[in-house]
């Protein structure tokens, strides 16, 4: 299976072992992995005025990076998001990537009657590997926006029978066996 791994961990983060383990497990399982590092990359946290105008225009993919990533999305079978949970949601750099790449024509399309239809029907697996400093009960009480964004909302644009995997490990001392067990089934 071809997998796009979106890495939103800072380079100096001690929790980067989560990303390295996910890469290792997927490659050992025979998957073809495209690793996309978002921190320190071309995506600014805030959209520029030109990017915002392009988003509502005829060509929402306005930079070479967004065009390249959109082409990769159309070619892969799975998306895996690796990120540290920030204020109970995804970090700003991952959100900015989602806003720039999952645009009309990529994430969703319009049929002949103007209804919204899924645009990423090639995606049959979605997953997220995240580190958090909070207990599961606290995260659930806060409605776990990161999980809803990466596995529920995006799933609506994917294949009808897209399967989801969510792995949440403790920040500081992540449980690597949890990652091996969950991604080993991919």
What does each of the 186 residues of the chain score in pLDDT, given as a tens digit?
999 999 999 888 888 999 999 999 999 999 999 999 998 877 777 778 888 888 777 888 878 898 999 999 999 999 999 999 876 678 888 988 998 899 888 999 988 998 999 999 999 999 999 988 666 666 665 556 666 677 778 999 999 999 999 888 888 777 788 899 999 888
Model confidence, pTM: 0.87
Q: Topology of 2-183 in CATH? A: Rossmann fold (3.40.50)
Contact 22/179 with Cβ under 8 angstroms? yes
Report DSSP letters for 166-183, one per residue: EEEEESSS--HHHHHHHH
Joined together, the tokens standing for residue 35 give 């690793």
């Amino acid at each position: 299976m071809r997998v796009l791994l979106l890495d939103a961990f800072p380079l100096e983060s001690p929790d980067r072992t989560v990303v390295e383990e996910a890469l290792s497990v997927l490659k050992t399982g025979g998957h073809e992995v495209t690793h996309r590092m978002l921190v320190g990359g071309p995506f600014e946290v805030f959209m520029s005025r030109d990017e915002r105008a392009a988003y509502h225009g005829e060509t929402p993919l306005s930079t070479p990076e967004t065009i390249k990533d959109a082409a990769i999305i159309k070619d892969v079978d799975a998306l895996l998001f690796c990120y540290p949970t920030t204020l109970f949601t995804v970090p700003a750099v991952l959100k900015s990537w989602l806003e720039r790449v999952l645009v009309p024509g990529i994430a969703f399309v319009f049929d002949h009657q103007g209804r919204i239809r899924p645009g990423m029907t090639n995606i049959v697996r979605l997953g997220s590997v995240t580190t958090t400093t909070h207990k599961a009960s606290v995260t659930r009480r806060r409605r776990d926006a990161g999980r809803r964004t990466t596995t529920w909302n995006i799933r609506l644009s994917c294949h009808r029978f897209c399967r989801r995997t969510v792995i949440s490990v403790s920040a500081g001392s992540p449980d690597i066996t949890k990652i091996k067990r969950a991604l080993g089934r991919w």
